Structure 1
Amino acid sequence: MLLDAKKRVLLTFMAAVMATLPAKAEPAPHTGYLLVHFTSEVADGEQIYFSTSTDGLHWRDLNDSRPVLVSDIGEKGVRDPAIVRSANGDKFYILATDLRIESGKGWDAAVHRGSTSLIIFESTDLLNWSAPRKVDIAGGIPGAGCAWAPEAIYDDSTGEYIVYWATTSPLNGIDKARIYYSTTRDFVSFTPARLYIDRPGKADIIDTQIVKMDDSAGGYKYYRASGDGQITLEGSQKILGEWTTIGDLRSVGLTGKQVEGPILYKFNGTDQWALWVDQYAAGKGYLSLVSSDLSRAENFRILSPAEYSMGKSKKRHGSILSVSAREYQALQSKWGPSR
């Protein structure tokens, strides 16, 4: 009885203390967007550029269309950047391909004898970024020739980030691009690379991106888009679980011979999604599509040129982060929109 009384006193005390603590602040609503990207194979084109938007459709370049971040390590170029907000919102990471084609090395060397490292930048506020650091993420894959187009997504079932990318290497007698993954909690230490996605036969797969649906959304919990000869859409309940093929963009008239580098993102405060695809064959940069239902590829609608604007610079394979009004304004204050 005495022990029970002590417990009641302790619980009463703890409840009183908790009542005096300020409630945990809810994250500020996201009202804008930040796009990180590269532009082309020219002197400064393979570096990190920033652009912003208030509606996710009309974009303006920051920093007078000049690079915001530059890599002076590895191959001294950064392509295909992905930006990630940490699970608790206190950090941001940019992961990018360690590659510079403008140096003249050529695509064959880049694919088969390129860097097996990623370049990573880190920030607490989107404004002040660390120096780039190089992480050899694919060096343990036998015969690895590259590590391209990295992405990352937080797995709330394990408390880890799953980092995934494309590596070209020989496996089972076939030398081609496959998607590998590693896990990390801090973007400093990574587990050994493991095979993630392998298409049948000699088909390469590159440029995979995974998005998580809201908990209240029906259908699959995760969707992914990949370049595997087409732009293929898949759905799953688990990031590392079984995935079901939904379809590809041939249903709306786009083939893998025309477009690559998909970006999926949700419009803030709506149930609408956007899918950007890089019109690499025509050298035109991004084309924008929209849908309110990712479970059917044919639901995507290609926007007309009058419905969106990509800004002044050409935008190549990048990543889009939803930001708060405060974060958006801070980005404008530091780098200003390009006029």
Structure 2
Amino acid sequence: MSESPRPLQPSRRTVLGAMAALTASFTIGAPSARAATGSAYVMGYFTESPNGLGDDYGLHLAVSTDSLQWMPLNQNNPVVTPTGGTGGLRDPFILRKQDGTFVVLATDLKGTDWSLQSQYIHVWDSADLRSFTGYRRLKLHDMATHSWAPEAYWDAGRGQYGIIYSAVNSTGHNVIMVNYTTDFVTASTAQVFFDPGYDIIDGDLAVGVGGVNYLYFKKDQTLVGARSASLDPGSFTVFSTPVAHGGTEAPILVKSQTSSTWYLWGDTYTPNGVFYAWQTGDLAAGTWTAVDQRLYTQPVNSKHGTIQPITTTEYDNLVAAYGKPSWNRIKSYNYPDRYVRHADYVGRIDAYPFDPYTDAEWKLVPGLADSSGVSFQSVSYPTRYLRHYNYQLQLDVNDSTTTFAQDATFYRTAGLADTSWSSFRSFNYPDRHIRHANYVLRIDPISTSTEKADATFSVGY
């Protein structure tokens, strides 16, 4: 579940993430009978932003061809929203079942009132993640506590699915519970799956890796791993070195299909809902190295998510069904935690996240002075464009003059610091490029390595 800092009892968790030159064979749980093939992924999440402008407690989807750069679907609007319980969800989880279809689970909680204690979780069935059927709430226990961050996996030995989640049982602190089911309609009596003797939430499983099962979870403000040769409740023991970036929760394990690399995603709640990723070449080692933030970009406002491999055909079908975003976000090369935005009509780069979040969304339209160039139209103020004035970039209303059109037109070129990124050369001052200086955008001649880095950006979502 995603949260602001608060006492461990009760605790909860946040969203999620995505990551590296990977194309995984599975995320959480055992590979299904019809495991996905192809370099594509789907992410499920809900959304929150610092001042609440982006809060939405429905199921959101994004897709990726490399599990690094994520493209929100449906204009980052929800594709389905619960109608029962609190009327909202947190911490969605997508599992590909043994028959190749999907089941979606989620916490029954709208907003951040942690005192609400639901013994139920939301459940949907889906053949293709383009339609959702059989909505229901599944009761997991009779305790006076919550059912946070449900996830599921296939337990081949039992011939059943396990549903794990965070709850406070008779120990007085959060543990990971488990129920077993064959249909996600009814479930067995709850059992304690893992209790290391202290408060934990957000269990995430990788099943059957070299004959070992790995469970990552949130302890205090860090992500910690446990492992077991079986999936039996009570069999897991802690083994890993904790990782964190600030207060970190909501672990997601992802395996590369093209190498032996594993990735661990974590979601922070300070600042609000930022994803970080770590990698290892040996899951059994229990040690992780941070991944360069240049390599990955989370969906805007995404919180406590889930990543599931899909086929290329499924990727294409999802994009066809929900559409690509009508806008882009632009990331700084040498400050990859910062995005191009306007604030008080001044162009600048600021650290994600912030509100209004639409101030960092742009439509890259054909150049006003030359259609082979580009102009940056604001999503927040569609009559306004980024233009230079006294060499500084500001957001102005298009007055339809030739001067404005030229000041607002740029040529997109290969990145000056990295040719896989982009730089933007001024139309009417062709010896100058857009760069940031003290986080403010301007056009300047570029020569030094620092200036080249300042003038290099990634255009994504």
Provide TM-score, normalisation by structure 1.
0.80
Does residue 195 (structure 1) correspond to residue 192 (structure 2)? The answer is yes
Q: Deviations over 1:16-55 (max 9, x none)?
A: xxxxxxxxx9866232000001112747522110011001
Offset of residue 305 of structure 1: 1.8
Task: Within 5 Å, give how 1:253-264 maps onto structure 2.
Answer: 254=244, 258-264=247-253
Distance in 2 between residues matched to 1:27 and 1:52, nearest whole Å? 17
CA distance in 2 between counterparts of 1:268 and 1:332 reads 22
Tell me the secondary structure at the aligned position of residue 258 of structure 2: coil
Structure exhibiting the larger radius of gyration computed from Cα positions: 2
Quick check: 1:73 aligned with 2:64?
no
Give the C-alpha shift of residue 155 in structure 1. Answer: 0.7
Q: Offset at 1:245?
A: 2.0
Partner of 2:280: 291
User: Which deviations, in whole Å up to 9, do the C-alpha atoms of 1:277-325 show, x marking residues without a partner?
Assistant: 0111221421111222111232x221122111113x1221111100011
| 1:332 Cα deviation from its structure 2 partner | 0.8
Q: Aligned residue for 1:239?
A: 231
Query: Match for residue 303 of structure 1?
Result: 291
Change over 3 Å in CA distance of 1:117–1:27 after alignment to 2: closer
Q: Report the equivalent of 1:38.
A: 46
The 5 A counterparts of 1:42-191 are 42=52, 44-89=55-100, 91-101=101-111, 106-107=113-114, 109-110=115-116, 114-130=117-133, 132-138=135-141, 140-141=142-143, 144-169=144-169, 171=170, 174-191=171-188
Structure 1 SS opposite 2:251: strand
Segments of 4+ in structure 1 off by > 4 A? 25-28, 41-44
1:319 to 303, 306, 315: 306
> Secondary structure in 1 aligned to 2:166?
strand
Identical aligned residues as a percent: 27
Q: Structure 1 145/26 Cα, relative in aligned 2: closer, same or farther at 3 Å?
A: closer
Count of residues in Structure 1 that have an aligned counterpart in Structure 2: 289
**Structure-2 separation of matches of 1:66 and 1:211:** 29
| Aligned equivalents of 2:97, 2:131: Cα separation in 1 | 16
Does the CA-based 8 Å contact 1:32-1:268 persist in structure 2? Answer: no
| Aligned counterpart for 2:217 among listed residues 211, 218, 226 | 226
Contact 2:253 2:263 in 1 (8 A): yes
Contact kept in structure 2, 1:210 and 1:222, CA below 8 Å:
yes
| Aligned amino acid, residue 275 of structure 1 | L
Amino acid paired to 2:302: K
CA distance in structure 1 between the aligned counterparts of 2:43 and 2:35, rounded to whole angstroms:
20
* Residues 39 and 248 of structure 1: CA distance in aligned 2, closer, same or farther (over 3 Å): farther
Task: Quote how far apart the aligned CAs of 1:135 are.
Answer: 1.1
1:171-203 deviation per Cα after TM superposition (whole angstroms, max 9, x unaligned): 1xx522111111001111110111112232xx2
Residues in 1 aligned to 2:74 and 2:42: alpha-carbon distance in whole angstroms? 13
Listed one character per residue, the Cα deviations across residues 123-182 of structure 1 (whole Å, up to 9, x for unaligned) are 1122111153111112x23xx22110001000111210010101124x1xx522111111
Equivalents in 2 of 1:261, 1:124: separation in Å?
Answer: 26
How far apart are the structure 1 equivalents of 2:134 and 2:148? Answer: 20
8 Å Cα contact 1:291-1:301 kept in structure 2: yes
Map of 1:211 onto structure 2: 206
Aligned residue for 1:22? Answer: none
Structure 1 runs not aligned, ≥5 long: 1-24
1:336: how far off? 1.8
Secondary structure at the residue paired with 2:84? coil
Distance change (3 Å), C-alpha of 1:157 and 1:190: same
Aligned 8 A contact 1:121 1:133 in 2: yes
More helix by share: 1
**Offset of 1:268 from its aligned partner?**
2.7
Partner amino acid, structure 2, of 1:226: F
Q: Which runs of 5+ in 2 are unaligned?
A: 1-32, 328-461
How large is the RMSD of aligned CA atoms in angstroms?
Answer: 2.0
- C-alpha distance in 1 between matches for 2:131 and 2:165: 26
1:272 deviates by: 1.6
Q: 1:60 to 1:26 in 2, by over 3 A?
A: closer
Contact 2:34 2:98 in 1 (8 A): no
Partner Cα separation in structure 2 for residue 302 and residue 65 of structure 1: 27
The alignment's TM-score, normalised by the length of structure 2, stands at 0.59
Q: Which has the higher strand share?
A: 2
